[in-house]
Each structure stands twice: as structure tokens, then as C-alpha cells.
């Protein structure tokens, strides 16, 4: 039985569409004090989050492989990624693998070891092996959207109507 049961789906917040899903993914990562670039998925079709149990799922059109440049690591994300989240921890993770030497290793838990601003994050496998990396390797700078002043918009509209 998977994490995402009918009961979980029924009470979860669900979002569709790539842009909204990317935004919601970053929001829930921030909510649980995890770095915003941890799940760099593309063409996301659905994101669900059940706050009661902490269960999260993300569905994307196709699996992707992402290289985290700061640590030179390849990570593969399946078409469906599921996990149970809490502050500073992602556990029961499925759908994520990291390349170590010549093999792909399944990841099942991520634990923040220190505060996000200056800390480290520990990646664990089902076999008990783990690796620790700086949190900074998984943070994507936020891009502020420029505010549009109402006066400028009115002036532009007046010019095009004339």
C-alpha cells in the first residue's frame, strides 16, 4: 500500500498545472524548513499535500535527471514522487535516486542537520548508507516579479486607445 491512499487524496490540497505546482512545491518545502531547490521537477501535472499526515505527492509528465552543479551530483526523479514531510525532515521518500560512482542509489530520507541558513542536509538510503551535503547546494535564488504601477498601466492604455 502506498502513502497516497484514497483517504489522503480526499482531504489533501491538490493543484494542477506546471507553474502553480512549482510554486506550491517551493511553498511546502519552505513550510517544512527544507531548501527550495530540492525538487527541481519539470512539466508537473499535479501536486498534493495532506497537512494532517504530512503526505506529499508530485506527478510529472516524464522522469527527469537533474545535476546539482554545486556538488556535481546527478539525481533522478520518477514520474511520481511521494513522501511524508515534517519540519526538517522528508521521510518515506519514493521516486528519487542519486548516482554514486556507476550505480543509482534509492534515497528514502532527507534530514536537515542544522538550521537551513547555514546547515547541512543528510541523504539516507534504505540500506543505511548516507551522505551529507551543504544546504546551499539545494537553494535556488528567488526571483522577484516586478510590480506594475497603476499609473503607468493607465497611461499605456490611454495611449493605445487614442
Of the options 2.40.50, 2.40.160, 2.30.240, 2.30.30, the CATH number for the domain spanning 6-161: 2.30.240
Distance CA 75, CA 16 (A): 24
What are the tens digits of pLDDT across the range 72-128? 999 999 999 999 999 999 999 999 999 998 999 999 999 998 766 668 999 999 999
Q: Identify the helix (H) or strand (E) that includes residue 16.
A: strand 13-16
Beta-ladder partners of 59: 46, 80
Q: Which three cell numbers stand for residue 46?
A: 499535479
Q: Could you give the CA distance from residue 16 to residue 25 in angstroms, rounded to a whole number?
A: 11
At residue 2, the pLDDT reads 81
C-alpha cell at 70: 554545486
Amino acid at each position: 500500500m502506498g502513502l497516497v491512499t484514497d483517504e489522503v487524496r480526499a482531504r489533501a490540497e491538490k493543484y494542477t498545472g506546471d507553474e502553480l505546482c512549482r510554486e506550491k512545491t517551493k511553498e511546502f518545502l519552505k513550510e517544512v524548513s527544507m531548501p527550495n531547490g530540492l525538487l527541481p521537477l519539470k512539466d508537473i501535472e499535479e501536486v498534493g499535500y495532506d497537512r494532517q499526515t504530512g503526505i506529499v505527492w508530485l506527478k510529472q509528465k516524464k522522469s527527469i535527471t537533474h545535476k546539482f552543479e554545486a556538488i556535481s551530483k546527478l539525481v533522478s526523479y520518477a514520474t511520481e514522487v511521494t513522501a511524508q514531510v515534517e519540519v526538517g525532515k522528508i521521510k518515506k521518500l519514493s521516486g528519487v535516486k542519486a548516482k554514486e560512482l556507476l550505480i543509482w542509489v534509492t534515497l528514502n530520507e532527507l534530514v536537515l542537520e542544522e538550521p537551513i541558513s547555514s546547515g547541512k542536509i543528510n541523504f539516507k538510503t534504505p540500506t543505511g548508507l548516507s551522505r551529507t551535503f551543504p544546504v546551499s547546494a539545494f537553494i535556488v535564488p528567488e526571483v522577484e516579479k516586478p510590480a506594475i504601477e497603476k499609473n503607468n498601466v493607465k497611461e499605456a492604455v490611454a495611449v493605445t486607445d487614442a
